[in-house]
C-alpha cells in the first residue's frame, strides 16, 4: 500500500476560523497516526477574494496551533507550501485531458438562466441549484475546442449514476448524479480552473492518499469521484470532519461570527483550547 500522504488546503479569503483549524488539526493527527507525510497547499485561485496576507496569517496560525507539514514546495525550502495560482499550466493540462475524455462542455448559462429553468426556487440560499439537464447543449458541443477560451465549462454528470464511497468518519455514503447534484463547473470564464478540477488535479499530482476536510464538502467528493474516474486516476480515501456549530446548532462559518484563531488568541485561549474546548457559548 502507498505511504500515507495527507494535505492541508486552506483558502486565504479571510482569517482562519476555528472550524477550519480543527479540521486541519484532525488531518495532521491522522497523518501522524499513519506515520505519513503532510503537505500544505494554498488554494488561492479566486483572485478577487484571496489575499497573500491571509495565506501568511493561516500558516502562522497553524504553526501557533502546533501543526507541522513536512513537505510542500514547488519552490523554496522543504516547508514552503504549494500555491495553486502558480500551477495554472498543470490545470490547463487537466482541462485538456477532460476535454479529450468527452465529458465536459462549454456553457454560457448564467445563474439566472438556471434559476429560470428550474420550476421551484431551491431550498437553501447557499446551496448551488442543480443545473437542469434541459440547459445542456448537444452532446458534441465544444469538441473542436483547443483551449477553454473565455467561457465556463461543465462536467456532464451521468444522470442516475449512484456514487458510493466509504468515509473514515461517517461510514458509507451514497449520492446520485443528476438528483443530488447536476453538471458542475470545471473551468471558469475568467480563465481559471474551478475548485473541483483544481482539487482533483492537485490531490492526484501530489499523491494524496487521504483527503480530510469538512463535511460541507461531501457533495464535492461525489463530484470529484466522477472526475477521478473520467481522468482514469485512482481516488484517495476520504474523511469528512463534523462542522463546528454554535449554541443554536448553526454552523460557525467565517462569515457568521468572529471566531478566528487570531481573535481567540487575543482573548487568551491556548492552542489546546482552540482545538478542543467547547466554544459554543462564546459570543462573537
Ligand atoms: N480549500 C478548501 C477550504 O478551505 C478545502 C478544499 C478541500 O479540502 O478539498 O475550504
> Which domains does the chain carry?
5-85+244-276 (3.40.50.620), 90-167+176-187 (no CATH)
The proportion of the chain whose per-residue pLDDT surpasses 90, expressed as a percent, equals 74
* Pocket flag, ligand 1, residue 23 (CB < 6 Å): no
pLDDT at 15 over 80: yes
| Contact 11 CB / ligand 1 (< 6 Å) | yes
Half-sphere exposure of 220 (CA within 13 A, CB side): 21
Most confident of 1-5, 46-50, 257-261: 46-50
Give the phi and the psi of residue 202 in degrees, each rounded to 5: -80, -35
Q: Which residues contact 67 (CB under 8 A, 6 or more apart)?
A: 8, 24, 25, 28
The active-site residue, picked from 109, 161, 189, 254, is 254
Q: Look at 62-71, 204-213, 247-256, 275-284 and tell me which has the smallest mean pLDDT.
A: 247-256
Q: For ligand 1, what atom is nearest to the CA of residue 9?
A: 1
Listed ranges 126-140, 181-195, 261-275; the one with the highest mean pLDDT = 181-195
Give the pLDDT band (50/70/90) at residue 105: very high
Q: Are 209 and 237 in contact (CB under 8 A)?
A: yes
Mean pLDDT, residues 44-61 taken together = 94
69 vs 4: which has the higher pLDDT: 4
Tell whether the model's pLDDT for residue 96 goes beyond 60.
yes
pLDDT for 145 beyond 80: yes
Contact 263, 17 (CB under 8 A): no
| Residue 255's pLDDT band (cuts 50, 70, 90) | very low
pLDDT value at position 121?
58
Nearest in space to 196 (alpha carbons), one of 174, 172, 243, 228: 228
Average pLDDT of the residues in 112-128: 70
pLDDT above 70 covers a percentage of the chain that reads 87
Look up 189 and say whether it is catalytic.
Answer: no
- Average pLDDT value for the chain: 89
- pTM here is 0.92
- pLDDT, residue 257, reads 54
Amino acid at each position: 500500500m502507498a505511504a500515507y500522504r495527507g494535505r492541508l488546503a486552506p483558502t486565504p479569503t479571510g482569517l482562519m476560523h476555528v472550524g477550519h483549524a480543527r479540521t486541519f488539526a484532525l488531518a495532521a493527527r491522522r497523518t501522524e497516526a499513519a506515520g505519513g507525510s503532510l503537505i500544505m497547499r494554498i488554494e488561492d485561485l479566486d483572485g478577487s477574494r484571496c489575499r497573500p496576507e491571509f495565506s501568511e496569517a493561516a500558516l502562522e496560525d497553524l504553526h501557533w496551533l502546533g501543526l507541522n507539514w513536512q513537505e510542500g514546495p514547488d519552490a523554496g525550502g522543504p516547508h514552503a507550501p504549494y500555491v495553486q495560482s502558480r500551477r495554472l499550466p498543470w490545470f490547463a493540462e487537466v482541462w485538456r485531458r477532460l476535454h479529450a475524455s468527452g465529458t465536459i462542455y462549454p456553457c454560457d448559462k448564467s445563474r439566472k438562466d438556471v434559476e429560470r429553468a428550474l420550476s421551484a426556487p431551491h431550498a437553501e440560499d447557499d446551496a448551488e441549484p442543480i443545473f437542469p439537464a434541459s440547459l445542456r447543449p448537444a452532446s458534441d458541443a465544444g469538441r473542436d475546442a483547443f483551449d477553454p477560451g473565455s467561457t465556463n465549462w461543465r462536467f456532464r454528470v451521468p444522470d442516475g449514476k449512484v456514487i458510493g464511497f466509504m468515509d473514515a468518519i461517517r461510514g458509507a455514503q451514497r449520492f446520485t448524479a443528476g438528483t443530488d447534484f447536476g453538471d458542475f463547473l470545471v473551468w471558469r470564464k475568467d480563465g481559471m480552473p474551478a475548485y473541483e478540477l483544481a482539487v482533483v488535479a492537485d490531490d492526484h499530482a501530489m499523491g494524496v492518499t487521504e483527503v480530510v476536510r469538512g463535511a460541507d464538502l461531501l457533495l464535492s467528493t461525489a463530484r470529484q469521484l466522477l472526475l477521478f474516474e473520467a481522468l482514469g486516476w485512482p481516488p484517495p480515501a476520504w474523511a469528512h470532519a463534523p462542522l463546528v456549530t454554535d449554541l443554536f446548532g448553526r454552523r460557525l462559518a467565517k462569515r457568521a461570527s468572529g471566531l478566528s484563531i487570531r481573535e481567540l488568541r487575543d482573548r487568551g485561549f491556548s492552542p489546546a483550547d482552540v482545538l478542543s474546548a467547547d466554544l459554543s457559548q462564546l459570543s462573537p
